[in-house]
Structures are given as structure tokens and as C-alpha cells.
Amino acid sequence: MSDITDRDIMYLPGVGPKRAELLKKELQIFTYKDLLYYFPYKYIDRTRFYRIAELTNSMPYVQVKGTITRFETIGERNKQRLVARFADESGAMELIWFQGIKWVRENLKINTPYVVFGKPTSFGGQMNIVHPELEPAEGQSTVTGIFQAFYNTTEACKKKFMTSKVINKLQWTLAQFLQDQVSEPLPDYFIKRLKIMPLDLALRQVHFPENPTLLKAARFRLKFEELFFIQLKILSLKHKREEYFKGFVFSKVGYNLNTFYKNHLPFELTEAQKKVIREIRRDTGSGRQMNRLLQGDVGSGKTLVALMTALIAFDNGYQACLMAPTEILASQHFNTIQKMTAGLGIETALLTGSTKAKERTIIHEKLESGKLQLLMGTHALIESTVQFHKLGLVIIDEQHRFGVAQRAKLWKKNTLIPPHILVMTATPIPRTLAMTVYGDLDVSVIDELPPGRKPIQTIHFYENRKKQLYEFIREQVNRGRQVYIVYPLISESEKLDLKNLEDGYELMKEVFPRYAISMVHGRMKAADKEAEMRLFKEGKTQIMMATTVIEVGVDVPNASVMVIESAERFGLSQLHQLRGRVGRGAEQSYCVLMSSFKLSQESRKRIETMVRTNDGFEIAEVDMKLRGPGDIEGTQQSGIGFNLKLANLAKDGEILQHARNIARDVLDHDPLFEKPENALLKQQLLGMKNTEYDWSNIS
């Protein structure tokens, strides 16, 4: 169907071929529609002028009328800046340019009234605006509406005078041209029932708001639509998958699970673990393919759940595989699981990048014959040479390290019926994000730690308290405990980072001459890493110094102290992951965050959050608010969260929940969009690109 809004942007009056090229290349605006959906990033109340005397640091953006009284160029040749004195009747301030000095000097006039826009800051008791926007105070009537919309542009755009203002004008032209020709993608009954603004009005208000109330309603409508169609897509794919794709039926609970449960389980399962296993049993017995995300904070006992799920698969004659993101983790799983299942008679193997060719061949053979029941390993598992006899279950640990495409490869190891999938993550994902990124998975949560664990105490030390830190380490080691000391990746160069760690290592050897100290970093050979980890795990070394390679999953219950050097350099979820390495035994554990005195507001907030709470979900929420959803691990590869134009997963949780509920409601009543009133929805859905959302769809 062709739509007037699909027209090439070149044909919009005021654009033409040259500007069209710029819009396409720099702003990805190809059509009328792209321009229409190129939303402002902020609005300024253009009726409000400030006096210079009123300006304060905390004002986000102001508009001031006045005149330039003089110019002055300051600094060395290469580091020049241009300073203009700008005055009104209440006082004076400075306007500062570091770039485009020549243009400013040639184009701006002294003693002529200007309107200046910008963010005021105070420096040495003087207010100034760096790189302000200026326009002549006379004839300043191009503004439409009370609020002026501001649009992002690039440097290249600005050079060719494609400024925010020009875009604003183009939006105006387009709005006049389109009038009532924007087609409404939401059915009538929706608009009425949900009391939302129709699209054409919303688009007009978002670019040319008449007042704050209308602007708010317009933004709500546009965000809702954006989130609604994503949810509708995800949920309808899920629905289809559940309808059409059969899954292996694990109907039996037999020898393996029963024997393990009776004779091998070293402890009582937590209620949360029991609940999750019940959910998994229900899924795998249903005849539909399981696609389940298991979220559980570090140390909550996910490995055991994974193992018990695998045992169910064996009881029903299927093979399983467990994939981990690092060799250390994979071999740890291998060792733990071998120990736990000793005597059960289960055939397991470990396959990683460093598995020798000869062993590899044996593994391949045993896999294909079906003799091997559980294969554990790293990315090596997804190589195409790895073929299973009857793969019934795929478990992926620490999910966020794997890309979507890698996951899909495992999905496809069976051609006819896909294996059941259990994805485990210790990085709690905020609910809003999970609903979108993993929206088509069912989610289980282990929200309870095994009993007897004492909450980890987290302490923040500035670097001048090294002495106390050493005392503390000594006291803990003398009590028989072990200590991690982790160094961040600071510089771009791995060499320098390594040097940081090595210097630290030398220093610690001097401070603690009688302790045995291990060191692990990313540049070591897998086997050497392994050997060092083993020494620490077996209690032969007391201190483990490492870069973040130990971040994920490593389990040494006797370790009770986690020292994180330069803690201000770590992200929140990473800090939380690292802290999760301790607190696994019955002893009181500690996390010491070392930092310099200079902390940015954000790193202060991160450290405060760590000291305040152990709750991974709470930390994830703070993290998402600080960084925005696009940066949360796991979302990068998904492509979702980035393409959102207006909605923000960190801030618009409520709208998202609302949109998801409505989408589910539609699907419950009309899963195939057969009702005439849903024809519009069907049409929209068909028009959406599949690529971003259909990775879980096996074919």
C-alpha cells in the first residue's frame, strides 16, 4: 500500500536534492514519515526571558535578551577561545566559543540586540554560556506556538545550516501539507476505549505543542503506540510458536531424578528452587517447547536447577547441553556436576576451545551415538561439527554474554522439533526490560537465597585507608578465610591494565609475605588460569588477585572478602556480580569498595547503592536509570530498546505494562486478528520488520 507519507523527503517544499542528501545521510530521514517521526529532544518556553542577574547554575536552558559589548580572544594559538561580554540592564555575563571563532567574529555584531539561548554555568563567580545559540532580537517571529521544539542535528548538518530551526520549519511545512492525511494505525474502538489522542493530532502536538497538557497527551499516545506494537508482535510470535511448534514431552520422572533427589542432594532445596522446578516440569511435560528465562541473584542456586532439569531429560531418553560464557565457568560446572552426580552413571563431557583434537573426536562420536548424555562447554558447543543424537534440552548459563544469533544456532541443532530452552541469568533484568528484550520467554525467578547465608556487608574506603584494609585482610585470613582483590580494566591498553594488576601483586607479596597469593588475568593461557583457580579453590592460596575474568559465576564458598580496587570504574551490575563471589558460605562476608577521592556524581551513586543494598533487582533498576536501557548488558545484541524513538524503557515502565496488557487482551480474544475491528492491527503487524523479534522463532 502506498501512502503519501512514504514520499521521498526530496519532494517536500524547502528540501530539494542537496538537503535531502544531508537529511538522509546524517539523520536517516528518507521519507515524509521519517521526518514526521523525527521527534524533538526538548522544548523551550519561548515566552520566558531571563535577566542576567537571575541566572543560576541549576537552570537547564535559558533565553536572555541583550547586546555584545566586546570580544576578546584568549589563549595560545591552538587552544584559543573567543569570549564575548554580553550585557542587559541587570548585569553582564560571558559567551564563550572554542570552535567556529572566525565565523562568530565575522557574523556577530557589537551593540546589536540578540537573543541568546544556552545552558548557564558559573565559573569564578561569573555566569557564562559556552557555545550559545544566538539570533537577532528583531524580527524574532519565526516561532510557532509557545513551546519551541528542538531537534538533534549533527556537526555536518550544522555546517550546512541544517539546524534545529530549519528542521522545525520543515516540520511546519509538512504539517501544513499533510493536514488530515496521516492514517491512524490504531482501531477506532481503541482510541475511544483507551481515551488516547488520535495520531494526527498527536504528531502535530509533539512538534508544535499548544500547551503542556496537550504535549503530555501527545507524547503518551506516541509512546503507547510504539510499545504496543512491539508487545503485540512479541506476544503474537510467542502465541504462534506455542500453537505450531511441538516440543518433546518429558512425561516421566525416573531413575536419574529420583535417585539424585534421594541420595545425592547435599541439602534441602529452597522453596524458590522447588517452585522453579515445578514450572519447568509443567513446561517440559506440556508438549510445547519450553522457552524459559531463569533469573536468580548470584548464589541463589541456579546450577542445581539446571542439573535437575537435565536429569529429567535423561529420564526421558534425551541428551542435554549446558553452555557457559567462559572456560573457567564451563569447567567449574563440569566439576561440580560430575561430583554431584558421581555414582549415578551419567555420561558427561567438557568441550571448550582448548579441548584436544583427539578428545574432541571421541566426544563427537559419543554425542552422535547418544552415549553421551550431558555436554558442557563454551561457545565450542555451537560449532556446526557438534551434532547430537537426540538433543532435548539446552541450558545457557549467564545468558547476557551470549548474542541472540549464537542462541539461535543452538535452537537449530534439532531440525524437526526444537529442544527445550532454559536460559539462566544472574544479572537481574529490570522488569520493563525483560518484558521487551525477553518478552517472548516465560520468566521464572529464584527470589530466595539458600538458608544460613548472612547478607554481605559492603564498605566504602577511600584510598587513604589502605592500612585499615590490610589489617582487615590479615584478620580474615588469620581466621582461615580467603580474599579476592579485583582490578578494573582502566586503560585501553591491556598491557597497562596488566601492569596495574602486577604492581598490586608485587605490593601484596610485600605486605603479606607469609600468605600464598594467586593471580589470574585474561592474557593467561586457559590451563594456567585453571591451575591458579584450582589452587585458590582448594585453599592452597589465601588471596586471589584478578582482573574481571573472575566476574561471572566462580564459586569458592570459603572466600569471605571481595576487595574491588578503583571501584568507581566499574558499572553497577559488574560490582554486584563481583560482590556475589563472596557470601556463599556460612561466614559473614564483606565487600570493600576502594576508590579515589575524586568521584563523579554517577560513581558516587553507584557506590552508595552498593553499600545500601544487596538486592540485585533494586540494583538493576538504579543501573538502568543511571545508564539508560540501551547500555544494559544483553540488550545490545537484541536491537530492541535502541529503536525506540520516544518511549524509554527506564522511565516508561507503566506505559509499557499498560501496552502489554492491552496487547495480551487483543490476542486473548482474537489471536489471528480475524475480527474486522482488528484488521488495522493485522496490517500494521505485517508491515513490521520481522528480523528484530523473530530470533526465537524456529523454522
Cα–Cα separations (whole angstroms), residue 648 to 74, 324, 373: 42, 31, 44
Beta strands 482-486 and 559-564, pairing class: parallel
Gap between the Cα atoms of 295 and 293, Å rounded:
6
Binding mask 65-104 for Mg ion (x = CB under 5 A): ----------------------------------------
Identity of the residue, 425 or 603, whose beta carbon is nearer to ligand ADP in the bound complex: 425
Indicate the DSSP class of residue 542: S
448 binds ligand ADP (CB under 6 A): no
CA-to-CA distance for 314 and 555, rounded, in angstroms?
Answer: 26
Q: Does 303 contact ligand ADP by CB under 6 A?
A: yes
Measured from the CB atom, the residue of 288 and 302 that comes closer to Mg ion is 302
> Shortest gap between Cβ of 61 and ligand ADP (angstroms)?
46
Output 405 or 586, the one with its CB closest to ligand ADP.
Answer: 586
Partner interacting with residue 312 (select from Mg ion, ligand ADP, none; CB below 5-8 Å by kind): none
Measuring CA to CA, how many Å separate 302 from each of 80, 114, 509, 579?
A: 59, 64, 36, 17
270 binds, among ligand ADP, Mg ion, none (CB under 5 to 8 A by kind): ligand ADP
CB closer to ligand ADP, 236 vs 303: 303
Nearest residue to ligand ADP, by Cβ distance, number only:
301
Helix (H) or strand (E) holding 149: strand 147-150
> 3-class SS at 506?
helix
Joined together, the cell numbers standing for residue 31 give 521519507
Nearest distance in Å: CB 553, Mg ion: 4
> Closest separation between CB of residue 276 and ligand ADP, Å?
11
Which residues between 77 and 136 bind ligand ADP (CB under 6 A)?
Answer: none
Instruction: Note whether 553 binds Mg ion by CB under 5 A.
Output: yes
Name the grid cell of 96. 564563550
User: Mask of contacts with ligand ADP, 418-447, x by CB under 6 A?
Assistant: --------x---------------------
Looking at 317-325, 454-462, 549-557, 673-681, which segment touches ligand ADP (CB under 6 A)? 549-557
Q: What minimum distance in Å lies between the beta carbon of 597 and ligand ADP? A: 34
Buried b (16+ CB within 10 A) or exposed e, 235-246: bbbbbebeeeee
CB of 582 to ligand ADP, least distance (A): 11
Contact of residue 300 among ligand ADP, Mg ion, none (CB under 5-8 Å per partner type) = ligand ADP
CB of 432 vs ligand ADP, minimal distance in Å? 23
**Four-CA torsion 132, 137, 139, 144, nearest 10 degrees:** 50
**Total binding residues toward Mg ion, as defined by CB under 5 A:** 1
Q: Please, which residue, 91 or 450, has the CB nearer to ligand ADP?
A: 450
Of 23, 288, 284, 279, the C-alpha closest to 171 is: 23
CA–CA distance, 440 with 434 (Å, rounded to integer): 9
User: Which residue, 542 or 574, is less far from Mg ion as judged by CB?
Assistant: 574
Q: Of 35, 115, 162, 298, which one interacts with ligand ADP (CB under 6 A)?
A: 298
Partner whose footprint covers residue 547, from Mg ion, ligand ADP, none (CB < 5 to 8 Å by kind) = none
Contact status: 11 vs ligand ADP (CB under 6 A) = no
584 makes contact, choosing from ligand ADP, Mg ion, none, with CB < 5 to 8 Å by partner type, with ligand ADP
Of 171, 231, 270, 577, the one binding ligand ADP (CB under 6 A) is: 270
Interaction of residue 185 with ligand ADP, rule CB under 6 A? no
- Please report, as a single letter, which amino acid is at residue 625: K
Asked if 299 touches ligand ADP (CB under 6 A), the answer is yes
Among 191, 269, 408, 644, binds ligand ADP (CB under 6 A): 269
Q: Locate all alpha helices (DSSP H) within 341-465, ordered by sequence.
A: 357-369, 404-411, 431-437
The 10 Å Cβ neighbour count of residue 381 is 23
Count residues binding ligand ADP (CB under 6 A).
18
Among 226-234, 297-305, 588-596, 644-652, the segment contacting ligand ADP (CB under 6 A): 297-305
Task: Check binding of 300 to ligand ADP (CB under 6 A).
Answer: yes
273/541 with CB nearer ligand ADP: 273
**Single residue of 118, 301, 392, 488 touching ligand ADP by CB under 6 A:** 301
**Contacting range for Mg ion; rule: CB under 5 A; set: 16-24, 163-171, 547-555, 652-660:** 547-555
Cα 262 → chain centroid: 41
The yes or no reply on residue 304 touching ligand ADP (CB under 6 A) is yes
d(CA 245, CA 283): 13
CA distance 27 to 29: 5
Nearest to residue 458, comparing CAs of 609, 573, 591?
591
Q: Interface with ligand ADP by CB under 6 A: which range of 87-95, 301-309, 345-353, 649-657?
A: 301-309
- Of 249 and 269, the one with the shorter C-beta distance to ligand ADP is 269
Q: Which residues of 64-97 are buried (b: 16+ CB within 10 A; e: fewer)?
A: bbbebeebeeeeeeeeeebbbbbbbeeeebebbb
The binder of 304, among Mg ion, ligand ADP, none, by C-beta within 5 to 8 A per type, is ligand ADP
| Residue 29 half-sphere exposure toward CB, CA atoms < 13 A | 31
Angle at 620 between CA 626 and CA 497, to 5 degrees: 70
| Distance from the Cα of residue 463 to its chain's centroid | 30
Is residue 194 within the footprint of ligand ADP (CB under 6 A)? Answer: no
Question: Which of the choices ligand ADP, Mg ion, none does residue 299 contact, using the CB cut-off of 5 to 8 A by kind?
Answer: ligand ADP
Query: Alpha-carbon distance 38 to 218, whole Å?
Result: 14
Least distance in angstroms from the C-beta of 260 to ligand ADP: 13
**Candidate list 165, 584, 658, 660; residue touching ligand ADP; CB under 6 A:** 584
196 is written with which cell numbers? 488516547
Q: Per the structure block, which three cell numbers stand in for 180?
A: 488530515
Which residues contact residue 690 at a Cβ distance below 8 angstroms, ignoring those fewer than 6 apart?
none
Q: Which is nearer to Mg ion, 488 or 553 (CB)?
A: 553
| Beta carbon of residue 507, minimum distance to ligand ADP (angstroms, whole number) | 31
Burial of 120 (0-12, 13-18, 19+ CB in 10 A): buried
Give CA–CA dist 654/216, Å, rounded: 15
Q: Which of 450, 522, 539, 571 binds ligand ADP (CB under 6 A)?
A: 450
Measure the CA–CA gap between 44 and 61, rounded to whole angstroms: 8
Least separation in angstroms between residue 551's CB and Mg ion is 12
The CB-nearest residue to Mg ion is: 553
Least distance CB 466 / ligand ADP (angstroms):
30
Copy the grid coordinates of residue 464: 587513604
156 near 22, Cβ under 8 Å? yes
- Within 8 A by CB and 6+ apart from 597, the residues are 462, 463, 464
Give the three-state DSSP class for 304. helix
132 near Mg ion, rule: CB under 5 A: no
Sign of CA dihedral 669, 674, 679, 684: positive
Torsion over CA: 438, 444, 447, 449 (sign): negative
Binding site for Mg ion (CB under 5 A): 553
Binding site for ligand ADP (CB under 6 A): 267, 269-270, 273, 296, 298-304, 426, 450, 553, 555, 557, 584
